[in-house]
Structure 1
């Protein structure tokens, strides 16, 4: 009888140990903060998440290669600097040191795609002098590029904001504004969607610009950032194919 009780006790202990181990190894779902803005093909608003955006495609390829699982949380860009503290996220994408005021505890990945913050104008205005760019459009929550700060402070340039890229592209096409402080790839996507010729929208040759990259950031998982950096190197061909599908490319 005592042997039977001992065997039963051992079985229960083994079962508990197995259950505890299984629970501890249960797959963690990492929360990734995304800007809830109309900015396809880079990323999308929450109500358009059925469309596969470039950054989510990259993250899902990384997850597949590394046995990870991500949940994408669309958050207001106006609270961008507070996402980690207020919204309990594990990662933020896209991110860049040039946007983030609070960077002390942030770890950034290498660049996912190299971009240049240009001023998009109509083709016929490509060579117009900088002094003619008096009113520029951008999305709510976006911050003017650092190359525009002095012009804004001096009162030479004014920014207006809308919640829709389609509205901004229409405003530029109709001459209601002089340019757009957004990605030219995004402008081309919405121009085509609106029935305009994408080639009619170009980067101003006279306006200042800034080079930067879209990066992944975290406060809590620097080891995953290291894995992500290794993934970016090992998966260059696959990522290049994702860029081609979305008609975007690295800017030199």
Structure 2
């Protein structure tokens, strides 16, 4: 049987999320499945995952990745408390929430490219991680398939509110794909919302951060998953006009919320990364 090939972007995120469980104290985002889902196949690569204090941008990226996962799941908890029973992970990658879901009745829909889904399911099987009946894998090739149709085929109810997590995806989308997906979320009933992250454009960054941006952009370009779009907070607010409650966090706000009173210097850095949630309360 041909083994499915990993998405390098999804793997890099998963490795950093797992490294956080092993090497950072205290842990900001507890994910007991982050290491097991990688299994022995990626054990050596996990050991090599950058975590040195002399690589601040790498450490800052890991901090941002775990902060955004925690932020998304905090927003999900609030949505569940208000009655939402559908959680959609757009670009799920190796996210593990569906295999540790603590909420009775919450249906989890993992949306990703078919190749990424096949790779993840191989890892779940290989590493003996059971898939609960409440978790639905939704393979979608956005160039050939409809998100609406494929979600509904998997049991998603478009007439009920839903909480969406859209992490690590927006910079890789074309403007058309971004707006089409955002429009789909905005059409959901009151009580629905989305957590996403985005990055500010190179032109608004200080010089040293522009160099870091160029290095990362070059690496993702070589891996075949290039950056395509960036937003300032003002531009993003314009895109979210269909939502009536928005929270947009920069580095200072993220650090104050998740990384205060640490002695190890573990925190997000730079001006580029942003975390955002947008909700339809009416």
Question: Which structure carries more strand by proportion?
Answer: 1
Query: Could you say which structure has the greater relative contact order, defined with CA pairs below 8 angstroms and 6 or more residues apart?
Result: 1
Instruction: State the TM-score, normalized to the length of structure 2.
Output: 0.31
- The structure with the largest alpha-carbon Rg is 1
> What TM-score, normalized by structure 1, do the two folds share?
0.34
